Amino acid sequence: MKRVPWKKVSSKYVLQNPWYGVRQDEVIRPDGSVGVFNVVECGESVFVLPVTEDDKILLVYLYRYPTQRFGWEIPAGGVERDELPLQAAKRELQEEAGYQASQWEKVGTFDSMNGMTDAVGHVYIAKGLRATATNEKTEEG
């Protein structure tokens, strides 16, 4: 079976803000039909697995508007302009969990939700944790 990629005919932005953009592409699908495909452009993000001395993963309890609920998750967030992914990982660990780490290891990079977004995720393991502030949003799991 021959693999034929989708072909973009035209693009226009239907929404842009400091965090993401929504691009609407007119496309020709592999079967030759014409359609519209919306792409959320949000760029790079980081995911941090903070590992404690006793090999537990530190989680943060955060409210997320899209799901309308609080939940436990690993520290994560976007890579800002002119910021390296490791710098963003260190910043997110500090901002969301109130911790710093003395050891960092990059696990890898993956395309997250690649059916609707261009998001690229960088995953790091953080060890040698040191609390820098009291944070009620964290728990070891």
pLDDT tens-digit readout, 94-103 = 999 999 999 9
**CATH (domain of 61):** 3.90.79.10
What is the residue-averaged pLDDT of the chain?
Answer: 93
Where in the sequence is the domain holding 25, given as residue range(s)? Answer: 7-41
Residues 56 and 86 in one domain: yes
Q: How many CA atoms lie within 13 A of 121 on its CB side?
A: 15
Tell me 20's DSSP state.
Answer: -
CA dihedral of residues 69, 74, 129, 120 (deg, nearest 10): -140
Contact call for residues 46 and 87 (beta carbons, < 8 A): no
The predicted-structure confidence for 20-42, as pLDDT tens digits, reads as follows 999 999 999 999 999 999 999 99
In this prediction the pTM is 0.84
Structural domains in the chain (count): 2
